[in-house]
Homo-oligomer: A and B are copies of this chain.
Amino acid sequence: MMNKKGLAILMRTKTRPLSPVSSKLNQMQASLPEGDKVSSQDASLIPRRDFSQVRESMHSAMLTNKTEIVDVALDDFSEGYIFLSPENRYKILLSLSKEYDLNRTQVRELMKQHLDLQLPSDKAEDNDHEEEGSLSAFYKIERNLCQALKPMYEVLFERLNTHPGGLKFLSDIRADILRLLEDVNIASLRALDSHLKEKLITWLSPANLELHNITWDDPASLLEKIVAYEAVHPISNLIDLKRRLGIGRRCFGYFHPAIPGEPLIFIEVALMKDVAATIQEVLWDNPPISEHEASCAIFYSISSTQPGLSGVNLGKFLIKRVVEVVKKDMPNICVFATLSPIPGYGQWLLSKLASSEMSGSVFKEKLLKPEEEKALMDASGGSDLGSSVIKVMWNLLTSKNHEWTNSPNLVSALRTPMMRLCARYLMKEKKRGKALDSVANFHLQNGAIIGRLNWMADRSQKGLTQSGGMMVNYIYRLDDIEDSAQAYLNEGHIESSSDFRSYIEDDNGERAD
């Protein structure tokens, strides 16, 4: 058990960045003067030899064969890399991707050898001996080709993976690569990323991860990670943290043996009588019901701690495992649902309003129904005389401190159009065949369906800005998870409850008028 002082220290960590790479990088960036000359001053602040030293240690970490030298080089490389300027990191990663790529000449030599061999005919069953010999030759070239197709930098990845602290460092490196790829589009860097991602997927397969039920009895060093990494509903004080680990609540994390004391991803669960409609009742209502009365497990927060593991999809497996564990532990739980934010809705709605206001009347999309327009104009009390209803709505939604939430009339007038448009956003707005909203896409690809849209479910500043305070329940119906996931992944089909669909049908009906 922790004493008060330990807990006070624990809570303070919230403001302290945890990753050594990003924290040291931030310090470094903070210490750099701003302005045009940043990059040249940067070069004078960080000694040039650092860069070449790091590059050299990277080189020997890949190409030496003596374990002791490799171990030292891996340490030098990972420690040195952390202290590089962002610019030099970029140069290191580019050098890695271009100069330690595969040997294309050797690859093509093997391809020619393969093509020179004659494929055994399918009917040559009677000539087993000859076929054996020919197959041997194929297998040999194919094995060599597989080897030759591995870029040299895979050796670095593999060695780091078995080196203490190396797996975490690889995840930090990938976070850097992903950040770079937001700005530049370089084929070799994309190839570097895709190879590293493949490796991480292999190494972080669910078989290598351990599920741990995180409780108040866990070490403070672990709990501070939960506080620091909680990305959905920030943990504000001790009572808050303790409640999230107490009666009627669960917190499960996925751990890797090589990254001890720090979950790669964790999920927070509330055991409730009904599917929660607001985050307030999950986070603050007190006391929770006794656990044997619960029939619903509500996943109200899932946070990934490693930006470098983007695309590794640990969340899918975590949810699957947690459902299994909870079901086994508490057979009376029969509903598994989330209470999820809709992080992209606010932004999407504002851009819809803006383009509706800007575009000529011919191509103008009718965002609001006439009765919605009227209700909104009435409620806003003609405060913006001469403004269009779209402009009124824009002003309300972007007003400081979300003042509209203090007026029952405005809340009531906004409710209908906001919910209708949100349903459309969740179900109809797509990008490359997938739901535009990232959280929706996450749960839909895991096999959930859209359940209920909840008005005024998250009244925090963050919740009001993200989605006008709305939240949604995604439902994991255990028997249909696989079918739903397949229908979504293969055909982009989004399933939802009939309750939810009524918003859309209503919308369609209006359009048909």
Contacts and interface: CB of A to CB of B under 8 A. Distances in A.
Interface of A: 65-69, 102, 104-105, 107-108, 111-112, 114-115, 119, 132-133, 135-136, 138-139, 142-143, 145-146, 149, 158, 161-162, 166-167, 186-188, 190-191, 194, 202-203, 205-210, 257-258, 482-483, 485-486
Contacts of A145: 145, 149
B146 A207 contact: no
A161 B207 contact: yes
Contact of A187 (B136, B188, B206): B136
A58 B164 CA distance: 38
Nearest to A195: B143
A209 B210 CA distance: 12
Contacts of A166: 207
A210 B208 CA distance: 11
Contacts of A149: 142, 145-146, 149
For this chain, the copies found in one complex come to 2
Given A115-B108, A205-B162, A208-B208, A139 B257 contact: no
A146 B143 contact: no
For the complex of A and B, list the 9 residue pairs with the smallest distance between their C-beta atoms, beginning with the closest.
A111-B111, A136-B187, A135-B187, A207-B258, A139-B191, A68-B482, A208-B208, A162-B207, A66-B482
B208 A203 contact: yes
Contacts of A187: 132-133, 135-136, 139
Nearest to A114: B111
A486 B205 contact: no
A139 B191 CA distance: 7
A210 B210 CA distance: 12
22 contacts: A67-B485, A69-B482, A104-B119, A104-B138, A108-B119, A111-B115, A115-B115, A133-B187, A139-B187, A139-B191, A143-B194, A145-B149, A146-B146, A149-B149, A161-B207, A162-B205, A203-B205, A203-B207, A207-B257, A207-B258, A208-B257, A257-B257
Given A67-B482, A142-B149, A208-B258, 10 more contacts: A66-B486, A104-B138, A108-B115, A132-B186, A136-B187, A139-B191, A161-B205, A166-B207, A202-B202, A202-B203
Contacts of A69: 482
Contacts of A138: 104
Nearest to A98: B135
Contacts of A158: 205
Contacts of A132: 186-187
A362 to B, nearest CB: 40
A102 B142 contact: yes
A450 B191 CA distance: 47
A492 to B, nearest CB: 16
Contacts of A162: 205-207
A61 to B, nearest CB: 15
Contacts of A167: 207
